[in-house]
Amino acid sequence: MSKISILVTGAVGQIGMELAAVAPQFPDFDFVFADSQQLNISSHDDIQRMFASRKFDYCINAAAYTAVDKAQTERKKTALANMIGPYLLACACKENQTRLIQLSTDYVYHNGLNRPLLEDDPVEPKSAYAFSKCAGDEAVLRFHSEGAMVVRTSWVFSSFGHNFVKTMLRLGRERPELRVVFDQIGTPTYARHLARALLTAIASAESGAVNRDLLRGVYHFSNEGVASWYDFALAVFEMSSLPCAVLPIETKDYPTPAQRPPYSVLNKTKWKTAFGQAIPHWREGLRECLEILDRS
């Protein structure tokens, strides 16, 4: 029996590297990990060459422009990575009968709803980054409607790349105290848990445990639990035994070029029902991440 072939774009990003880290746990899958040098997803020619090289059963698009504040001024780069790229991938995947998993963000839901957000809640992007991701999601669902899944996640962290956890660890070693906003509420997501959940969903579909048709439409995946950035920072210092004090401040006291949604907790009922997966709490993911960083 031939292995399931999976193309992973954005291979050197947080989620791409975590997919590579958990890949050995899925011996029935044959992975191709492509970074932006090997596959620029905003290049039609690059995509055509990649899909001409072999048959892919799945493509996980982990490539994105994620510098939320810089996106306000670097709009062309943002649009190429987050809008044009997903559109081109969707067209190529449809043409080659490849299922596409598009990774997206909670930031598209800047809609003022103060309860866990559902997949069919209205999107109201209020930053260049959020608008570009929203447009990319819409392109994927429109141009590959029968074979594309959009997975929106939130507050991603990992032992790889740049993220809030690693920034807090660095600043916590340099400063006696930090001021962190307490009025933005969401859920931290350990990228390794997300990576494992994605591959487990594919494995379930390929084994017949779940219907392949479930691998389409919009889903939410984050870790369980709720936190503010202040709570998240406190947990980082508590678990790493850093003596840095954390002072809560309001968003208005820490202005940024891009607006963040004040509440973006994601409801994961649809994911858990479809794929039968239990989702760990974000503190469990943080503990695992910090242990890995401590060993590195």
pLDDT at 103: 98
pTM: 0.97
Relative to beta strand 189-190, strand 156-157 is parallel
- Alpha helices by DSSP H, listed for the chain, are 14-22, 44-53, 75-79, 85-95, 128-143, 164-174, 191-207, 229-240, 269-275, 282-295
Residue whose pair of structure tokens reads 């997501």 in the numeric block: 189
Write out the chain's pLDDT in tens, 296 residues.
Answer: 689 999 999 999 999 999 999 999 999 999 999 999 999 999 999 999 999 999 999 999 999 999 999 999 999 999 999 999 999 999 999 999 999 999 999 999 988 888 999 999 999 999 999 999 999 999 999 999 999 999 999 999 999 999 999 999 999 999 999 999 999 999 999 999 999 999 999 999 999 999 999 999 999 999 999 999 999 999 999 999 999 999 999 999 999 999 999 999 999 999 999 999 999 999 999 999 999 999 98
pLDDT at 98: 98
Catalytic residue among 65, 107, 129, 219: 129
Strand order of the sheet with strand 99-105?
29-34, 4-9, 58-61, 99-105, 148-153, 217-220
pLDDT at 1: 63
Structure tokens at 126: 């209020």
Residues 6+ apart with CB under 8 A from 195: 15, 18, 19, 21, 22
How far, in Å, are 95, 106, 216, 280 from residue 144 at the CA level?
9, 22, 9, 31
Task: Let me know if 254 is a catalytic residue.
Answer: no
Residue 181: in which H helix or E strand, if any?
strand 177-181
Topology of domain 4-162+189-224+264-280, CATH: Rossmann fold (3.40.50)
CA distance 211 to 36: 33
Cα angle vertex 17, ends 34, 82, to 5°? Answer: 60
Residue type, 181: V
pLDDT at 2: 87
Cα angle vertex 68, ends 65, 73, to 5°? Answer: 85
pLDDT at 191: 98
